[in-house]
Amino acid sequence: MTITTTETAVEAKTRISHAYGESTPYSLGIEEEFQLVDPDSTELLPRCEQLLDLATDADLVHIKHELMQSVVEIASSVCANTTEAAIELAGLRARVNDLARKVGCEIASSGTHPFARYADQIVTDKPRYHQIIDELRWVAQRELIYGLHVHVGIPSADEAMYVFNGIREYLPALLALSANSPFWQGELTGLQSSRSKIFDSFPRSGIPQSFESWADYESLMLRSINAGAIDDYTYVWWDVRPHPAFGTVEVRICDAQTRVEDSLAIAALVQALAAWLGSQYNSGVPQVHHPRLLLNENKWSAARYGLDGAFLDLSSDTKVATRDAVSELIERVRPMSVDLGSTVEFDHLNVMLGETGADRQIRTFEGSGSTQEVASTIASATNRSFT
């Protein structure tokens, strides 16, 4: 859906409202962004257009281009749970890798490539991407990053706003668990998630403000559109955002995961969290709107230290070990994963609490001293996850 600045506010409002509410409650969709790498050198290759030229019409429903030609995205169907999504996601990874091999590359998955340079990349020849580059320049040119996005269907706009507000508190936990980008342009950054800090330079990004109601959110979007600040709400790149066209809340903070089982576990956690918040909404539980200053403090800790840092406990204003905070979240929403039928994938979170993908990358680098070895290990592990 595109909303143009030539429409009246009433026309745009009607289109946004009409598009919402067409999703199955707490269904989910998963999007993964992959690197296209040379199988021998592990350097990025700009082969997405060539790959898509070989794709069938059925493939193109699920395989998409992104800003850079060295990036390819897959998007699952709408799934009832992660058990259902597991079969499709592994199949999509295998299919896109098969297409990649036909054009001389393979997929690899992590939040950043260990040594690639953004200045060497080719922008995808699409009007939206040229517009973004023209407007944002250096900020967008650096967007050589790879994420995992999870959509959860929410049955009404008002409930979606409640879930959106509630997820804000837990975004740092999701980032800590998913941290998988310690390298940037060949350097070990000292961060567990350099991807998150790169994307934070985008306008309209990061942890968003909270809203009192769907009407307040809608009013802000319409004001931004009619003022010419944005073309439509998809130019708002928050870490979590409503997606009215899909009838979902979309969580966007997570680094891309090397192993498919890690992607599925995170998706199961996001789905269970959204369902838990939905139950709070339907029970009439009042919502606490935590200030962004404190949420961003926890996000910084997650980006810097991953699971090994400390969070502010927003209920007591004391420090708590990040790993303990994430574990507590997992246990709080675990019953929802049972109700949703996502238990197997959800249980893998217990494995993920042991170490992050960033930890594994750093360990490989410390043992080899080579970012190329890190990239090779990522590619191998990515391919093992679906074969």
CATH of domain 9-384: 3.30.590.20
Q: How far apart are CA 366 and CA 345, in angstroms?
A: 31
Owner of token pair 């929802």: 336
Query: Residue 18 — pLDDT band, cuts 50, 70, 90?
Result: very low
Q: What is the DSSP letter of 114?
A: S
DSSP string computed for 160-213: HHHHHHHHHTTHHHHHHHH--B-EETTEE-S-SBHHHHHHTTSTTEESPPP-SS
Looking at per-residue confidence, does 384 or 54 come out higher? Answer: 54
Q: Which residues, at least 6 apart from 13, have a Cβ–Cβ distance to it below 8 Å? A: 218, 222
Check if the beta carbon of residue 342 is closer than 8 Å to that of residue 271. Answer: yes
- Average pLDDT of span 291-308: 98
> What are the structure tokens assigned to 65, written together?
């281009």
Predicted local distance difference test score (pLDDT) of residue 8? 55
Q: Which residues, at least 6 apart from 277, have a Cβ–Cβ distance to it below 8 Å? A: 162, 163, 166, 167
Summarize pLDDT for 349-385 with one digit per residue, the tens: 999 999 999 999 999 999 999 999 999 999 999 998 7
- The mean predicted confidence, pLDDT, of the chain is 94
Q: How far apart are CA 295 and CA 86, in angstroms?
A: 31
- Average pLDDT of span 284-299: 97
Predicted local distance difference test score (pLDDT) of residue 341? 97
Dihedral (Cα; 277, 278, 284, 288), 10-degree rounding: 30
pTM higher than 0.85 = yes
Share of the chain above pLDDT 90, in %: 93
Q: Domain boundaries in the chain?
A: 9-384
- Given a cut of 70, is residue 236 above it in pLDDT? yes
